[in-house]
Amino acid sequence: MLTFISYLAVILGILSALYILIDVIKNPQSMGIMNIVWPINGLYLGPLGIYAYWKIGRAKQTDHHDNVAENSDGGEMHGDKPRWQGVFVSTSHCSSGCAFGDAVGVPIVAMTGLTIAGSVLFSHYTVEFILAYLFGIFFQVFSIVPMSRKMGHEISWKKGLIKAIKADTFALIAFEVGMFGWMAIVHFYLFTEPPKPDTMTYWFMMQIAMILGTASSFPANWLLVQKGIKHSM
């Protein structure tokens, strides 16, 4: 039964990502990086990713970034979009970079047979954290610089990188706490023998881990937006 559920969840994730990808090709997002973010969200959120995309990402085809207003907390509001939606998009944007890095790290560890302190799990943690951080920062830079320029503030890519590190580090760590915490439970408690990366069960567990990572990073993103360190999207 678990194998069937795993296949169903993973296939739904792939189909959801393809559906969103086809739609963003036809209806590109105003911020280019979001054309990548939304399909990645579909991979682990599945139909919920499609719902979020239609409800928040594609609800209005107008350029929200041309209608940015400063709110009382120093964050930004786009038109009449509720703050939680803006923070959710910021969280999804951050999580997609982390999730992509984590997904890329899995086959690298599997193919190299890398272990740290005799543990495959620790090697996954290390490689995936590094890649998640790199992709997370990359995604963040490609939102900060275009967003700043849309607001009329010229900003260099170097300065954008510095701002991205400040904006994304705490949120990324919060994401990995949720994700790695779940994978530790999977590794040590749920299975007599932990599932391998060449099984659908493993990737289903990864989908759950990414969802929990997104949930654990939402409060961090809310705080960063409230403090003015990160922008609501």
pLDDT tens digits, 221-230: 999 988 888 8
Q: Sign of the C-alpha dihedral, residues 139, 142, 143, 145?
A: positive
Give the percent of the chain with pLDDT over 70.
88
Q: What is the pLDDT of residue 151?
A: 67
Query: DSSP letter at 192?
Result: S
State which H helix or E strand residue 78 sits in: strand 76-78
Map out the domains of the chain as residue ranges.
Answer: 82-226
Q: Is the pLDDT of residue 149 over 90?
A: no
Please report which confidence band the pLDDT of residue 75 belongs to, taking 50, 70 and 90 as the band edges: very low
Give the percent of the chain with pLDDT over 90.
54
